[in-house]
Amino acid sequence: MESRGISRAVIRRLPRYYRYLGELLENGVERISSSDLSKRMKVTASQIRQDLNNFGGFGQQGYGYNVKYLYTEIGKILGLEENHNFIIIGAGNLGQALANYTSFENRGFILKGIFDVNPRLEGVTIRGVQIRMMDELSSFIRDNDVEIGVLTIPKEKAIEVANLLVDNGVRAIWNFAHTDLNLPDNVIVENVHLSESLMQLSYNISRYKEEHK
């Protein structure tokens, strides 16, 4: 489906639609109106219709949305009908936590390898995936058709490792390092700054306290 010109805000809402529709499917719901969906998601019905109209609409007047069909179509838009091989760089606490997250596979994200520089971790397995040393990285990427690199390493090494990934054909990076990456425009980067998210939460808590004094 055509998606050029669609705002980043709309794209960021699609996974939420997918998650809520999945929960509706699990509960045996066959169809739902934009009004009922809006109550669950805390998004206006108008916003839902506008978002989905970017991709063709999917609804019928007086009927609403077929939950299974909409769930499937949003999955296709998100590229979830295909498998995406990924690797994790950094086998510390965060890297191991991500490696242990089994839901990735349910969405088609297949963990192929974990890499670190600590020789004490070499050969350790997490859910059957072996931790390897960085000198194996280049050949491993080529041999395993790796699309996505996940960075859970100190920021001092993030740029160097990101460039190494790109040089070896990785097309997308999920960046948990506390630094921005300056990479070619054809490389997709999704930054996850956990401390920034906590600071936003802190701001909202402070504002709430001020408003309810």
Question: What are the residue boundaries of the structural domains of the chain, listed by start?
Answer: 8-77, 84-196
Give the whole-angstrom CA distance, residue 33 versus residue 36: 5
3-state percent helix, strand, coil for the chain, nearest multiple of 5:
50, 20, 35
Q: Comparing 90 with 9, which gets the higher pLDDT?
A: 90
The answer to the question of whether 95 is labelled as a binding residue is yes
- The reply to whether 137 sits in an annotated binding site is no
By C-alpha distance, which of 176, 177, 151, 154 is closest to 164? Answer: 151
186 is in an annotated binding site: no
CATH of 84-196 among 3.40.50.620, 3.40.50.720, 1.25.40.10, 3.30.70.1560: 3.40.50.720
* pLDDT given at position 3: 46
Q: How far is CA 136 from CA 61, 127, 159, 177, 189, in A?
A: 56, 20, 19, 21, 23
Which residues are registered as beta bridge partners of 133? 116
The helix (run of H) or strand (run of E) holding residue 174 is: strand 172-175
pLDDT at 213 over 70: yes
Query: What pLDDT was estimated at residue 61?
Result: 65
Closest CA to 6 of 65, 63, 92, 78: 78
Q: What average pLDDT does this structure show over 165-179?
A: 95
Residue 165 annotated as lining a ligand binding site: no
pLDDT value of residue 4: 52
pLDDT above 90: residue 182: no
Size of the chain, expressed as the number of residues it contains: 213
Q: Identify the CATH class of 8-77.
A: mainly alpha
Model pLDDT, residue 62? 65
Q: Is 91 annotated as a binding residue?
A: yes
Question: Which amino acid is present at 149?
Answer: G
Q: CA of 47: how far to CAs of 14, 55, 181, 193, in Å?
A: 12, 13, 32, 27
User: Do 8-77 and 84-196 agree at the fold level?
Assistant: no
